[in-house]
Amino acid sequence: MTAYEKVKAARAPGRHTGLQYIEEIFQDFTELHGDRSCSDDTAVVGGIAWLGERPVTVIAMEKGTTTREKIRRNFGAPHPEGYRKAQRLMAQAEKFGRPVVCFVDTAGAACDMEAEEKGQGQAIAQSLVDMMALKVPVISIFIGEGGSGGALAMAVADQVWMLENAVYSVISPEGCASILWKDPKRVEDAADCLKMTAADLKVLGVADRVFFEENVEFESLCRTISAALGEALEQSSALPVEELTARRYARFRAYGGLQDK
C-alpha cells in the first residue's frame, strides 16, 4: 500500500474504534465521565478496567460506528474538556498507582469556535506537561488516525505502538498539499513526504512497535496487543518512579536532538 492508501485505510468507515479495542482487550471496563469543570466530551472515553490481574486506567478517542454516533462523538475530535477529562483520569491513575493505556484515533483536535473559547491550546499544553511528568507507566496505541497536536496530547508515553495501517502526522496530507503547495490534488505526494505511516515512524524511532493487521482477525490482533501490554506493563511497573519518568523525558528529549558545531 502507498502512504496515502494507508491514510485512507486509517480513516475507513468500518475500521474498529477505541471502545471496540477496550471491550476486546480488557475486562470489566467501567466508564467514568466528565472533566469536573464544565462538561463531558463524548469524543474521549475513559475509565478503569482489568488487564488480566492488573487494574489499569484506559482512555480512548472514540469516533463512533453509526452515523448518529459519529455525530454525537464529533467524529473523534476532542474538545478541551476531552483532554481535561483525560488529565483528570491520569491524575487518578497516578494516585492509585495504576498504569495508563491510551488509544489514539483522531483526525485532530476539534476545530471550531467552542474549542477555541474553551482553550484548546491550553488544554493540549496541559496534557503534554502532565503526561511528561506522570508517575505511572503509560502506553499509547495508535489504532487509526493520529492527527497532529490533538493526537500527541494522548501520546506522550513510555512506549508508542501503532497498528500497521495507522498513521501519525504533524498535519493531514490534504492540509499539507493545500497550504504548502497550493495544490490540493497532491495529497499522495504529501502523504509520502510527511513520513506518516507506521513503518516510516518505526524507522524514525517514533513508534516502538508495529502490529500487523492485514489478514489478522480482530480478536487475534487484540490478543496480541493484550499480551504485549501485559508484558510491557510488568516491566515498566517494576521500575522506580524516577527511572520511569527519566526514561520518558530522555525519549522525547532525543527527538531532534542536535549537536553544536
Partner 1 sequence: MQLKFLFKKPNIELEQGGREPTPPEPSRTCPYCGKETPIAKLWEDKNVCECGYLFRMTARQRVEFIADEGSFYELWPDLEGGSPIAFPGYEDKLATARKNSGEKEGVVCGTARINGHPCALFVMEPYFMMGSMGTVVGEKITRLFEYATEYRLSVVGFTVSGGARMQEGILSLLQMAKTSGAVGRHSAAGLFYLTVLTDPTTGGVTASFAMEGDVILSEPRALVGFAGPRVIEQTTRKKLPAGFQRAEFLLEHGFVDAIVGRDEEKDTIARLLEFHEGRRRV
Residue identified by cell 496487543 is 225
In the complex with partner 1, the residue whose CB is nearer, 72 or 253, is: 253
- Angstrom distance (rounded) from CA 140 to CA 157: 6
- With contact defined as beta carbons under 8 Å apart, do 103 and 155 qualify? no
Cα dist. 244→20, 157, 224 in Å? Answer: 29, 11, 24
Backbone Cα Rg of the chain: 18
Rounded distance between C-alpha atoms, residue 91 and residue 136, angstroms: 10
DSSP 74: G
The piece of 67-75, 95-103, 137-145, 252-260 that touches partner 1 (CB under 8 A) is 252-260
Interaction of residue 22 with partner 1, rule CB under 8 A: no
Question: Can residue 219 be called a binding residue for partner 1 (CB under 8 A)?
Answer: no
Residue 38 binds partner 1, judged by CB under 8 A? no
For position 115 contacting partner 1 by CB under 8 A, the verdict is yes
Nearest to 123 by CA among 43, 198, 53: 43
Decide: is 84 part of the binding site for partner 1 (CB under 8 A).
no
Q: Which of 27, 66, 67, 113 binds partner 1 (CB under 8 A)?
A: 113
Question: Can you tell me which of 121, 218, 227, 247 binds partner 1, judged by CB under 8 A?
Answer: 121
* Minimal distance, residue 239 CB to partner 1, in Å: 18
Q: Is 111 in the site for partner 1 (CB under 8 A)?
A: yes
CB of 59 to partner 1, least distance (A): 17
- The answer to whether 116 contacts partner 1 (rule: CB under 8 A) is yes
Q: Which of 94, 168, 210, 221 binds partner 1 (CB under 8 A)?
A: 168
Binding region for partner 1 (CB under 8 A) out of 13-21, 60-68, 200-208, 225-233: 200-208
Nearer to partner 1, 25 or 93 (CB): 93
Q: Give the separation between CA 189 and CA 110, rounded to whole angstroms.
A: 26
Size of the site for partner 1 (CB under 8 A): 50
**Range 207-243 burial, b when 16+ CB lie within 10 A, else e:** bbebbebeeeeeeebbeebbebbeebbeebeeeeeee
**What residues between 169 and 198 interact with partner 1 by CB under 8 A?**
169-171, 175-176, 179-180, 193-196
Q: Strand pairing of 27-31 and 167-169? A: unpaired
Question: Is residue 112 part of the contact set for partner 1 (CB under 8 A)?
Answer: yes
Look at the chain and count its residues: 261
Is residue 199 within the footprint of partner 1 (CB under 8 A)? no
Q: Which is nearer to partner 1, 178 or 237 (CB)?
A: 178
